[in-house]
Amino acid sequence: MTRRGATALLSTAALVSGGMLAAAPQALAAAPAAAPAAHTAHSNPVTNPYSPAYGHDYRHGVVPTLGTHAKMKAWAKANQQASVATGTQTLSYGGGVDGIGVQSGHSKVYLVFYGTQWGTQSTNSSGDLTFSGDANGAAAAAQEMFKGIGTGNERWSAELTQWCDGPNVPTGATSCPANANFIPYQSGGVLSGVWYDNSAASPSAATGHQLGVEAVKAASHFGNTTAAANRNAYYVILSPHGTNPDNYQGQYCAWHDWNGDTTLTGGAVSSTVGDVAFSNQPYNIDSGAGCGVGFVNSPGTLDGWTMTLGHEWHEMMSDQNPAGGWTNHTGSSYNGQENSDECAWIAPGSTGGAANVTMGTGTFAEQASWSNDTNSCAISHAIVGGTTGNTVTVNNPGNQSGTVGTAVSLQMSGSDSASGQTLTYTATGLPAGLSISSGGLISGTPTTAGTSSVTVTAKDGTGATGSTSFTWTVGTTGGGCPSPGQKLGNPGFETGTAAPWTASTGVVDNSTGEPAHSGSWKAWMNGYGSAHTDTVSQSVTIPAGCKATFSFYLHVDTAETTTTSAYDKLTVQVGSTTLATYSNLNAATGYALKSFDLSGYAGQTVTLKFTGTEDSSLQTSFVLDDTALNAS
């Protein structure tokens, strides 16, 4: 295998993306689609013959075109069943699928620009990806909208805070008990990643199964390779101008689903990364007024685009694995509808009508969503229960050390996603003789030698909390370090071999492709421009009673052009604990010194390990040199 620069690039079609062969989507869809483990049935077949979901049960939350919507309403009116006590539009809880009803954490939205027809990629002044095949600026608008959710004091998304899941929510419930897992207000935006998958052209009419395959592929691309990583993730599959994904044209404008839905065209999409929520977002500007162009503004080219993006996100949040979340089961007129379905295409200026929503990143046309608690369509809603879903972060000070009888003073700090909040600090596990003030100052004089595991927690005025943990080693008075100095063998790799390091083949290197920090040798990890993993590790004993500092020089260069997505990563670990993660986003000229306090591991033998992972295209090199573990 040859590093980038020493040979020509592999062709795009031959690359491997996110650990999956980037063959044509048709080939991926044709592969056997082994369904995940059996799930509880939550089907609610659509009976309205004019619905785009009629006979296509996987099209959850489908947004019909305006013309189709009018036909659906006429049929529903003619076939209206008697209302139930809670009202015909009331949503009820479906009991969850795989234990999932709603996204009860902070949503992570990933935008996947699917297919080479998007054209040449560039980046605008806001850091958004733009494309030559997107004359309407739809890509940037999608990125800014998801960045803006939960910012600028917008309350359009606060409607979601009334929905919940968890073991305390009974199937059929129409409201949430206090001990449920509520959707928090999504402070600070929800955009978590953007990917241009230009490994092949998007199909002219991608099937639902192919869209699901692309979503699972994207999960691996973004490094979400476990069920836990995908619990609050959502993948928007954005097809390019001129395509007709799932034959939307003339029928509908968007829908959402999850990979385990056996009603998908071609069946469920096999996944080793857990349940994957995704949506089909056609380039519905091509459908003109039928999909909302000019619905709120004039000319309003992007009105329907942002409305349908918001529609499907709202419905995924309240019904992540359909139909285990909140849907309507009151009769044939509303069978299976979700919160945004019940408020689709209400004219601006009408009660519950679509409107412009101002966020911290701009103003976007959005539609209202149904609220059980107000029995209405809400374009703006109070945050339920007064909770803000604030994110409190406590800064980690690193592992601490001291000696018996010597006074210490350590000021803890933190931050809150909500402004104007005062943080109150508490701590557990402090060494004997130390205490923490409500303002976060740890002070006192240690009285007993030993190593303690300390957790510091900060709480704001709304009850939101955050915490961080570190170790605190207290030595005996005057004990000193019995064996100071450098503890790593071959720290600069100058022996020309890895030992006593254990390294992947070819990592210890003296070529001129990447210069050493000093001497001639270094550890050059990755740099191939194809899916590849390199490791370098060494076990070392840290003397008891010593302060220990681990350091190394790191140089990162990359051919990636993104400013937002970490495609290639270097993880630094001590034992099973991750000290730091670097990526293609850390690329810079020359070497940078990295340093970590490992005093908390005094008296232990630990393994220091570097793991570099590279995706299918565009090389990133992680170059290490002049490592050290100094005891003092």
What tens digit of pLDDT does each residue of 116-147 get?
Answer: 999 999 999 888 999 999 999 999 999 999 99
The pLDDT of residue 30: 30
- How much is the pLDDT for 332? 44
For residue 317, which phi and psi values (nearest 5 degrees)?
-60, -40
Q: What is the pLDDT of residue 10?
A: 27
Residue pair 542/602 in contact by the 8 Å Cβ criterion: yes
Q: pLDDT (tens digit, 9 = 90+) per residue, 337-378? A: 899 999 999 999 999 999 999 999 999 999 999 999 999 999
Could you give the CA distance from residue 3 to residue 178 in angstroms, rounded to a whole number? 57
Res 477: pLDDT: 58
Task: Report how far residue 606's alpha carbon sits from residue 598's, in angstroms, rounded to the nearest whole number.
Answer: 10
**Span 73-98, mean pLDDT?**
73
**Hey, is 345 helix, strand or coil?**
coil
* Overall average pLDDT of the 281-307 stretch: 98
Six-digit token string for 457: 């927690």
- Tokens representing 576 are 């099973």
Say if pTM beats, i.e. exceeds, 0.95. no
Whether the per-residue pLDDT at 271 is higher than 70: the answer is: yes
Beta bridge partners of 409: 443
The pLDDT, as a whole number, for residue 525 is 96
Output b/e per residue, 500-526; b: 16+ Cβ within 10 A: ebebbeebbbeeeebebbeeebbbbbb
Burial class (CB in 10 A: 0-12, 13-18, 19+), 311: buried
**pLDDT reported for residue 161:** 93
Question: What pLDDT shows up at residue 389?
Answer: 54
Instruction: Please report the pLDDT score of residue 559 as a whole number.
Output: 94
Block residue for tokens 């000229």: 589
Q: With b meaning 16 or more CB within 10 Å and e meaning fewer, what string describes 19-44?
A: bbebeebeebbeeebebbeebeebeb
Residue 603 has pLDDT above 90, yes or no: no
Whether 226 shows a pLDDT value over 80: the answer reads: yes
Q: Give the least confident one: 248-262, 323-337, 440-454.
A: 323-337
Find where tokens 């918001």 sit: 310
Peptide bond before 52: cis, by omega within 30 degrees of 0?
A: no
What confidence score (pLDDT) does residue 401 get? 85
* Average pLDDT over the chain, rounded to an integer: 86
Q: Are 599 and 400 in contact (CB under 8 A)?
A: yes
Q: What is the mean pLDDT of residues 456-474?
A: 80
Judge contact between 57 and 334, C-beta under 8 A.
no
| 173-205 pLDDT per residue, tens | 999 998 888 999 898 899 999 999 999 999 999
Is the pLDDT score of 279 beyond 90?
yes
302 pLDDT higher than 90: yes
Pairing mode of beta strands 233-238, 108-114: parallel
Does position 560 have pLDDT exceeding 50, yes or no? Answer: yes
Separation between Cα atoms, residue 131 and residue 304, nearest integer Å: 20
Could you tell me if 7 and 527 are in contact, meaning their C-beta atoms sit under 8 angstroms apart? no
Angle at 277 between CA 274 and CA 278, to 5 degrees: 135
Judged against a pLDDT cut of 50, whether residue 439 lies above it is answered with yes
More confident site: 15 or 340: 340
State whether residue 38 is helix, strand or coil. coil
pLDDT-derived band of residue 42, with 50, 70 and 90 as boundaries?
Answer: very low
Are 493 and 625 within 8 A, CB to CB?
yes
**Dihedral through CA 596, CA 601, CA 604, CA 605, nearest 10?**
-20
Is the pLDDT score of 81 beyond 80?
Answer: no
Which has the minimum average pLDDT: 65-79, 183-197, 295-309, 388-402? 388-402
Please state, in angstroms and rounded to a whole number, the distance separating the CA atoms of residues 495 and 499. Answer: 8
**Interatomic CA distance for residues 377 and 370, integer angstroms:** 4
Band (pLDDT 50/70/90 cuts) for residue 385 is low
For residue 384, name the pLDDT band (cuts at 50, 70, 90): confident
What would the DSSP string read from start to end of 590-630?
S-EEEEEE-GGGTT-EEEEEEEEEE-SSS-EEEEEEEEEEE
**What is the distance between the alpha carbons of residues 89 and 67, in angstroms, rounded to a whole number?**
22
| Separation between Cα atoms, residue 122 and residue 96, nearest integer Å | 41
Give tens-digit pLDDT for 494-509.
998 899 999 999 999 9
Dihedral sign, Cα of residue 419, residue 423, residue 428, residue 433: positive
Q: Is the pLDDT of residue 217 over 50?
A: yes
C-alpha dihedral (244, 323, 105, 224), degrees to nearest 10: -50
Counting every residue written for the chain, the total comes to: 632
pLDDT at 463: 62
3-state class (DSSP) for residue 256: strand
- The tally of CA atoms less than 13 A away on the side-chain side of residue 30 is 5
The CATH homologous superfamily for domain 392-475 is: Immunoglobulins (2.60.40.10)
What number does CATH give the domain 485-631? 2.60.120.260
**How do residues 393-419 score in pLDDT, each as one tens digit?**
889 888 888 888 888 899 999 888 766
pLDDT at 478: 55
Own/partner long-range contacts of 478-482 (Cβ < 8 Å, ≥24 apart): 478/403, 479/403, 479/545, 480/545, 481/543, 481/545, 481/546, 481/547, 481/631, 481/632, 482/543, 482/544, 482/545, 482/546
Mean pLDDT of 411-438: 87
Q: What percent of the chain has pLDDT over 90?
A: 67
Q: 102 and 317 in contact (C-beta within 8 Å)?
A: yes
The pLDDT score that the predictor gives to residue 67 is 95
Please report the pLDDT score of residue 358 as a whole number: 95
Q: What is the domain partition of the chain in residue ranges?
A: 53-79+103-386, 392-475, 485-631
Query: What is the side-by-side order of every strand in the sheet holding 465-475?
Result: 400-403, 465-475, 450-459, 424-428
Cβ proximity of 224 and 187 under 8 Å: no
